[in-house]
Amino acid sequence: MARIVITTFGSFGDVNPYIGLGLELKRRGHQPVLAMPGVFREAVEREGLPLAAVRPEIDTNDTGLISRIMDPAKGAEAIFAELLIPSLQATYDDLLAVAADADAIVTHPASVAGPIVAQVRRMPWASSVLAPLSFFSVFDPVVPPPAPWLHPLMMRSRALSRGFLWLSERVTRRWVGPVTKFRASVGLPPGLNPVLAGQHSPQLVLALFSRVLGDPQPDWPANTVLAGPILFNGAATLEVSEEIERFLQAGSPPIVFTLGTSAVETAGSFYEVSAEAARRLSRRAVLLVGRHPRNRPRTADPNVLSVEYAPHAALFPRAAAIVHQGGAGTLHQALASGRPTVVVPHAHDQPDNAMRVARLGMSRTVFPQRYTPSAVHRALAELLGDPECERRAREIAGVVTAERGAWRAADALESLLR
């Protein structure tokens, strides 16, 4: 039996997969400890797992910060400059204490302190990624959030793809300059860029995304295990509410519109536009609007239900189609549901994820600045009127649900411990 520290940072899309991994490790007799901001304590402890609070804390009421984080051009920089780097000493102190008697540590791509703790403690370390973007492969170029138009050019020119990675290294090095000084203060060499190659463990890298999004590439870390997605969505919330159940029973399958737990904080006109697009299609709709009343459409409509939240695993399979932001957690739940999707990517891995599901033949992409009733109507009409799209969605769902990401990841961790 091993004590395994699992550390992550971000939204519920960055937390739920690691709860799922923790539950699988616990089922095997291990002692997982989830090390993350205390705001997630209720969600973690509800599943019978321990949470060790690790700074920085996340202020879910700071919509200004969330808006900066979700900016396509500057969002990643904001995460490092405003959250991760200023709190590096505090995060390190918290995590070092949690890992004092641990047998291994699992880190998230945004865990700057995690690799440092692993190296100082000289303990088995598995890093993880939730989306193909984290590998920054030359052979499978990413979609840059600030400039999606670059992707087709990089697909045609490996030299241009290498040039983009060189520029990414230069730019991100400026964000994380203090990390080099901090590593020196604890007796470690400078190390690789923690935004890029430095996030990956030389011992084990867990790729926690579906193979349908990307096959292993020659420039992935040699020790990568493509485990597949961990589709945990809350063991205690496997059913929709009575309100949603009544709505679902009252008519045809609705289109579900959601922005996850980050983009929803700065939704703008998304839900108003979504409701209008559904009306133009003569379709019913469920809007997952989050906690802010401002996200609810101004005009009441008996065919449009606005609710704060619903478990994706319970609601998505009962939808006609799903419109979402493309974050890794929501994306995999949508793929597993077997329903066609429209992705509205905001920042980070979302534009890259949108490209990857669009090429599967069961999804369309509408960028936020072009999210109008006409554009959404057109994208959904194409999907809902295409039997081949429905067939592809069901076929992909069969692949995704069979991947058993938690089981494969736990197997890989046990091999690392041995």
Gap between the Cα atoms of 159 and 165, Å rounded: 10
**pLDDT at residue 235 above 90?**
no
Number of domains, the chain: 2
Under DSSP, is residue 140 helix (H, G, I), strand (E, B) or coil? coil
Q: What is the model's pTM?
A: 0.96
Asked if 189 and 276 sit in the same domain, the reply is no
Q: What is the pLDDT of residue 264?
A: 77
Asked if 151 and 167 sit in the same domain, the reply is yes
Gap between the Cα atoms of 221 and 374, Å rounded: 43
Q: Which domain holds residue 346?
A: 242-401
Asked if 75 and 141 sit in the same domain, the reply is yes
Q: Give me the percent of the chain exceeding a pLDDT of 70.
A: 99
Asked if 133 and 273 sit in the same domain, the reply is no
Q: How many helices (H) and strands (E) does the chain have?
A: 17, 13
Contacts of residue 134, defined as CB under 8 A and 6 or more positions apart, other chains included, come to 109, 199, 349
Question: What is the per-residue pLDDT across 74-109, written as a single tens digit (0 to 9) for each?
Answer: 999 999 999 999 999 999 999 999 999 999 999 999
Res. 298 pLDDT band, cuts 50 70 90: confident
358: domain CATH number? 3.40.50.2000
Dihedral angle of Cα 376, 14, 139, 205, to the nearest 10 degrees: -160
Question: What is the per-residue pLDDT across 106-123, written as a single tens digit (0 to 9) for each?
Answer: 999 999 999 999 999 999
The reply to whether 237 falls in a domain is no
Q: What is the pLDDT of residue 60?
A: 78
The single-letter DSSP state of residue 254 is: P
Write down the H helix ranges in 72-176.
75-78, 88-98, 113-121, 150-156, 158-175
Q: What is the mean pLDDT of residues 246-255?
A: 98
| Assigned token pair, 297 | 């459409």
| Residue whose structure tokens are 């959250």 | 83
Gap between the Cα atoms of 400 and 158, Å rounded: 30
Gap between the Cα atoms of 160 and 137, Å rounded: 12
The reply to whether 375 falls in a domain is yes
The reply to whether 235 falls in a domain is no
| Residue whose structure tokens are 């999907």 | 383
The reply to whether 205 falls in a domain is yes
| Assigned token pair, 400 | 């995704």
The single-letter DSSP state of residue 14 is: G
Asked if 284 and 225 sit in the same domain, the reply is no
Asked if 102 and 200 sit in the same domain, the reply is yes
| Assigned token pair, 219 | 């420039």
Let me know: does 330 contact 312? Beta carbons within 8 Å: yes
Asked if 201 and 157 sit in the same domain, the reply is yes
Asked if 365 and 409 sit in the same domain, the reply is no
Asked if 145 and 266 sit in the same domain, the reply is no
Asked if 350 and 409 sit in the same domain, the reply is no
The reply to whether 300 falls in a domain is yes
The reply to whether 236 falls in a domain is no
Asked if 269 and 222 sit in the same domain, the reply is no
The reply to whether 91 falls in a domain is yes
The reply to whether 251 falls in a domain is yes
Gap between the Cα atoms of 34 and 32, Å rounded: 7
Asked if 275 and 211 sit in the same domain, the reply is no
